[in-house]
């Protein structure tokens, strides 16, 4: 799946990530962690090697997408999966899960404006293509800013669970149709 859109004269394409994108994606994850600490004094991914390995696995399985701007620079990314081991529950067969939604915080221009919203809309479009009517994500309860971010897009908290680290996480979800209007 590859999609392109024009935004204020700048082309943005969203496409499957390649193995060559791995180091850039690790850097984006580091930036997202730094941003999370700055905003909520909490690491989003406290076990970085596990998160790095997950990115590599997402790439290998064709689940990681990158948003590319000028000259093919990776500006953001999202992983889309059809299952999530922590939330094996009813309704999961109708859901697409988003993971590792992140953007390049070192670039602040028209290309990165509302990039998170654009990646969420892309996720909804991909969910429709896969006949999924719900978008889900998990968010650490202690990252209040990130919880609020998803709530602004219509996500609601559905359940709670403890991750292997002992941290409390929320399962949040939104009907796919809500994100198509972004």
Domain ranges of the chain: 3-180
pLDDT tens for 87-105 read 776 667 899 999 999 999 8
Residue keyed to tokens 């399962």:
171
| pTM flag (> 0.85) | yes
pLDDT tens for 101-143 read 999 988 876 556 689 999 999 999 999 999 999 999 999 898 8
Among 15-19, 61-65, 178-182, where is mean pLDDT lowest? 178-182
**Kind of pairing between the strands at 134-140 and 95-103:** parallel
Pick the CATH number of 3-180 from 1.10.10.10, 3.20.20.80, 3.40.630.30, 3.40.50.2000: 3.40.630.30
């Amino acid at each position: 799946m590859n999609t392109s859109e024009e935004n204020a004269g700048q082309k943005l394409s969203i496409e499957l990530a390649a193995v060559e994108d791995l180091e850039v994606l690790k850097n984006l994850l580091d930036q997202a962690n730094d941003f999370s600490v700055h905003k909520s004094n909490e690491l989003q991914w406290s076990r970085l090697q596990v998160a790095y390995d997950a990115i590599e696995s997402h790439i290998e399985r064709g689940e990681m997408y990158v948003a590319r701007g000028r000259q093919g620079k990776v500006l953001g990314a999202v992983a889309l999966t059809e299952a999530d081991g922590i939330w094996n529950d009813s309704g999961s067969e109708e859901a697409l899960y988003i993971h590792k939604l992140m953007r390049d915080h070192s670039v602040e221009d028209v290309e990165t404006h509302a990039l998170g919203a654009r990646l969420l809309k892309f996720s909804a479009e991909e969910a429709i293509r896969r006949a999924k009517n719900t978008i889900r994500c998990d968010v650490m309860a202690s990252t209040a800013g990130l919880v609020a971010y998803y709530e602004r897009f219509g996500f609601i908290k559905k359940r709670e669970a403890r991750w292997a680290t002992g941290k409390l996480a929320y399962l949040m979800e939104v009907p796919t149709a809500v994100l198509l209007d972004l």
